[in-house]
Amino acid sequence: MNKLYGKIMTKDAFLNNAPYAKEPYEGIMVSLDTENNQYKIAVQLSENQVLLVDKVKDTEVQERLIQWIPRVNEIQLQYGVDNDLENYSR
């Protein structure tokens, strides 16, 4: 399994006072970059750290999310994320 390379950044830097930010699926985040007129997609690595994996036009967001969501757990494992399941009952 090849490690996915992207830009690791703080969650605050990723959000950067974005007028739109959403977590459509646990572990993945989307925010609007108004300076470049595009949406950024990131995988959450910790409470305060994310991996920027994609930048897309508004018309491509849904399609790209469909591609990235199945890879969230794989990417988190590559970066040593310990998924805490304390919110889930067994």
Query: Using CA atoms, how far apart are residues 72 and 27, in angstroms rounded to an integer?
Result: 6
CA triplet 60, 27, 29: central angle to 5 degrees? 40
Tell me the pLDDT band of 2, cut-offs 50, 70 and 90.
low
Cβ neighbour number for residue 86 with a 10 Å cutoff: 5
Query: Using CA atoms, how far apart are residues 54 and 7, in angstroms rounded to an integer?
Result: 10
Query: Using CA atoms, how far apart are residues 49 and 62, in angstroms rounded to an integer?
Result: 23
Q: For residue range 6-65, what is the model confidence (pLDDT) as tens digits?
A: 899 999 999 988 999 999 999 999 999 999 999 999 999 999 999 999 999 999 999 999
Tell me the pLDDT band of 3, cut-offs 50, 70 and 90.
low
Query: Is residue 70 scored above 60 in pLDDT?
Result: yes
